[in-house]
Amino acid sequence: MGRRYDPERRQRIIDAAIRVVGEKGIAGLSHRTVAAEADVPLGSTTYHFKTLDDLLVAALRQANEGFAKVIASRGGLEDPGADLAVELAGWMGEWLAGDRTGVELEYELYLAALRRPALRPVAAEWARDLADRLSCRTDAVTARALVALLDGICLQVLLTEVPYDEEYAREVLARVIP
């Protein structure tokens, strides 16, 4: 029997990897666990992703799209009259109020770059892309500081289980914005 044409297989494997990491953490990720979750032969995972780092890079790229979608859906950066601190605090609030598992997963993959050098360029892309978006409203140094502050606030919410305080975030962000 010949190969079955399955154009969605690669995407199903990425989606399965995200589910596995969401359920078991990065330590639970293997080609075997992903193949079982995606319901594909083991060889398919290694065909599309030679290493687990290759698979994690694809998963991180996809996960990064979550925050980018929030930014795109809200707009606000294009309007020079919009209060940037209000917009950023709103973005974080919307993102953190969404699927908590998805947000935690994004950060788990993002922080995995500490131990997995292959993920670092993708993590850096996310920070650079956001800083570039913010640079249309402020200078490059402030944009980078805002990205760091957004990261810090999100991590505190995720790690301390303290509810997100949009008013606090807005006030702190306003202090950084010239």
Which one-letter amino acid corresponds to residue 55?
A: L
Q: Which two tokens stand for residue 1?
A: 């029997």
Homologous superfamily in CATH for domain 60-176: Tetracycline Repressor, domain 2 (1.10.357.10)
More confident residue, 19 or 7: 19
Q: d(Cα 92, Cα 76) in Å, to the nearest integer?
A: 13
- On the question of pLDDT at 2 being above 50, the answer is no
- pTM for the full predicted model: 0.80
What digits encode the pLDDT tens for the residues 10-21?
Answer: 999 999 999 999
- On the question of pLDDT at 127 being above 80, the answer is yes
Q: d(Cα 42, Cα 47) in Å, to the nearest integer?
A: 9
What digits encode the pLDDT tens for the residues 128-163?
Answer: 988 998 998 999 999 999 999 999 999 999 999 789
What's residue 1's pLDDT?
41
What digits encode the pLDDT tens for the residues 54-100?
Answer: 999 998 888 877 667 777 777 777 788 889 999 999 989 988 887 77
Q: What is the CATH number of domain 1-50?
A: 1.10.10.60
Identical fold at 1-50 and 60-176? no
Place of tokens 């997100």: 164
Task: Enumerate the domain spans of the chain.
Answer: 1-50, 60-176
Q: What is the phi-psi region of residue 161: left when phi exceeds 0, alpha when psi lies from -120 to 50, beta otherwise?
A: left
Q: d(Cα 64, Cα 61) in Å, to the nearest integer?
A: 5
